[in-house]
Structure 1
Amino acid sequence: MNKYEAMVIVKPSLSDEDKKKLFQQIDDVVTKNSGQISQSGVWAEKRKFYFPINKFMEGIYYLAAFTAPPEAIKEIRSIYKLNENILRVLFTRMDA
C-alpha cells in the first residue's frame, strides 16, 4: 500500500448539497478500491485558473490523502474521469 494525494478540481457552479454529495463520492471511490482515506477536504473555494478548463475560469479544489494499492489508482482515475462534475484530477505518490 502506497500513500497518495489526489487533487480534484470540480465545477464551481455546483450547489452546496451537490458539492457534499460529490465529495462523498470522491472518498467512496477510494474506499471501494481497497483504499483508506486519511484526510480530505476543500483546499480552495473557487480559485481562478490561468486558462479555461472545459469553459470554466475557476474551480473548487478538493484534496484527499489516502493509502491504496498501486493498481487501484488506474481504476480510481478512470471513475473520476467519467464524472462530468470533475474538471481535472492529479494523483501524487507521497514518500513513505
Structure 2
Amino acid sequence: MSTDRVKKMRNYEMMVVLKPLLPDDLRKSIHKEFMDMMEQDKGEVLDVDVWGKRYLAYKIAGHNEGYYIVYDFKSSPKIINEMKRLLQLRQEILRFMIVEVDHPEEIGTRIKKKEIEV
C-alpha cells in the first residue's frame, strides 16, 4: 500500500440493528455485503462483535427487539456515504449508525462476544 493510501484510511465503528427474526442466511448475506465492500475499498475489518438479540429502548417498525452487530473497521472516507446509502435501502435493517473513531484502542467494553459464521 502506498503511504498516501494509508494516510487516507480512518477508523470507524458501525452498529447495525437488524430485524430480530431474520433467518441466519439473510444475516450472513448482509455481513458478506459489508465484508465485500471493505475488500473492494481495500479497507480492513478490525473486529466484528455480535451482540445478538436485545430489547430496544422503544419500538422500531413494530419491533421490540433487534439483532445487534458492531463492526470496527478502517476505510477511506469516500466509501462511507455509499455504505450509508446501501444500508438505508435494506429493509432488514431497523437502524444503523457509523461514527469515526479517533482512538480505536479506547473503544468501550465489549458485551458478550459471539462469532459470526459466514
Give me the TM-score of the superposition, normalised by structure 2.
0.72
Aligned length: 95
Q: Which runs of 5+ in 1 are unaligned?
A: none
CA displacement, residues 1-46 of structure 1 (integer Å, 9 cap, x when unaligned): 100011010111112222222222232233334422121131x221
Counterparts of 1:27 and 1:53 in 2: how far apart (Å)? 26
Larger radius of gyration between Structure 1 and Structure 2: 2
Structural RMSD (CA): 1.5
Work out whether 1:80 is the aligned partner of 2:82: no
Question: 1:11 is aligned with what amino acid?
Answer: K
TM-score between the two structures when normalised by the length of structure 1: 0.86
Provide the identity percentage: 29
Can you give the 5+ residue segments of structure 2 that lack an aligned partner in the other structure?
A: 1-8, 104-118
Q: Distance in 1 between matches of 2:39 and 2:62?
A: 31
Q: Which amino acid aligns with 1:8?
A: V
Runs of 4+ in 1 over 4 A off after TM superposition: none
1:5 paired to 2:44: no
Matching of residue 38 in structure 1 with residue 46 in structure 2: yes
Higher normalized strand content (fraction of residues): 1
Could you say which structure has the greater relative contact order, defined with CA pairs below 8 angstroms and 6 or more residues apart?
1
In structure 2, the residue matched to 1:71 is: 78
